[in-house]
Amino acid sequence: MKIGIVGCMGRVGQLLVKGIQSGKYPDLELSGGTIKPDENYPDQGYPIYKDPNELFENTDCVIDFTIPEATRKHIWLAAKHKTSLIIGTTGLTENDECEMKDAAKETSIIYAANMSVGVNLLCALIEQAASRLDEEFDIEIVETHHKHKIDAPSGTALAMGKSAAKGREVNHEEKAVYERYGRTGERKSGDIGYGVLRGGDVVGEHTMFFYGEGERIELTHKATDRSLFAKGALKAASWINGKEAGLYSMRDVLDL
């Protein structure tokens, strides 16, 4: 299966290239990557394009860990060329997810706010816990990332909150509380609160708290190496081969 990497010289992009070239994924072959029009790099030993349309035209599956503005274009390039697409971009909106569903009528797409096996298992556990713990247990999510991260809360934190909302069968946006400042009054029962920390070189730490009277449950995931995101994406690329058009998640890949 020919795999293309948009943003192949980015932090995760380089890890994806190394992963394919390592030989650990014999069913995957690197077909090329893209860079920005104003970038230039020495020969990397594989095709590099400045126009992503050329990459989508010459590959079976593209992996995208870029930025929302770029991913919004890539979604429709995938549909145009019937190229499978793995999306690990964070900061995408609900409207973007609707666009993915429309594009997925033409090709197979996997979208996950976090590609790690551990985080997706965590979300499954959160959904299960939330379905069994009623609103007497207050839900709070705290996440920490490196100082260069540009979106908040993180896509992973939002995925955790949405998993909790799904478990309780409530609308996430109606329950989400993204900021607190000044005299906010008492906490409303059923709220899903978010706390965001940024600093240093933290890859990613996320904790879901269920606060009850006299007890507290904490579900935590800590990422210490970005390569786990690349590993998850390459696992997804192997899985998507031959799949029918449709929008899938990492929980489909992992059968969670």
Render pLDDT for 232-254 as a digit per residue (tens, 0 to 9): 999 999 999 999 999 999 999 99
pLDDT given for residue 143 in this prediction:
98
b/e per residue 157-180 (b: at least 16 CB within 10 A): bbbbbbbbbebbeeebeebbbeee
The answer to whether the CB of 60 falls within 8 A of the CB of 83 is yes
Strand arrangement of the beta sheet that strand 204-212 belongs to: 176-177, 192-198, 138-145, 204-212, 215-223
Extract the tokens encoding 200: 């240093």
**pLDDT at residue 226, rounded to an integer:** 87
The closest of 126, 178, 128, 118 to 151, measured between CA atoms, is: 178
Give the residue-averaged pLDDT of 21-39.
95
Residue 256, pLDDT score: 80
Share above pLDDT 70 across residues of the chain, in percent, rounded to a whole number: 100
pLDDT attached to residue 91? 85
> Per CATH, the architecture of 117-223 is what?
2-Layer Sandwich (3.30)
pLDDT for position 129 = 98
Question: What pLDDT sits at residue 97?
Answer: 94
Q: What is the pLDDT of residues 100-130, one digit of tens each?
A: 999 999 999 999 988 999 999 999 999 999 9
The answer to whether 84 and 78 have CB atoms below 8 angstroms apart is yes
Distance of CA 31 to the CA centre of its chain: 23
Interval 181-200 mean pLDDT: 96
For 13-25, how does the pLDDT look when each residue is reduced to its tens digit (9 = 90+)?
999 999 999 999 9
Residue 113 has a pLDDT of 84
Q: What is the pLDDT of residue 64?
A: 98
Q: Where in the chain is the domain with CATH 3.40.50.720?
A: 2-111+226-253
Task: Tell me which residues are annotated as active site.
Answer: 145, 149
Q: Which pTM does this prediction carry?
A: 0.83
List pLDDT tens digits, range 58-107. Answer: 999 999 999 999 999 999 999 999 999 999 998 898 899 999 999 999 99
Contact yes or no for 63/5 (Cβ under 8 A): yes
The mean per-residue pLDDT over the stretch 197-203 comes to 96
Q: Tokens representing 182?
A: 């000044």
pLDDT tens, 128-139?
999 999 999 999
- Kindly state which CATH superfamily the domain 2-111+226-253 is placed in: NAD(P)-binding Rossmann-like Domain (3.40.50.720)
Beta strand 84-87 pairing with 61-64: parallel
Q: In the prediction, which pLDDT does 19 show? A: 96
Q: Where in the chain is the domain with CATH 3.30.360.10?
A: 117-223
What are the structure tokens assigned to 226, written together? 């970005």
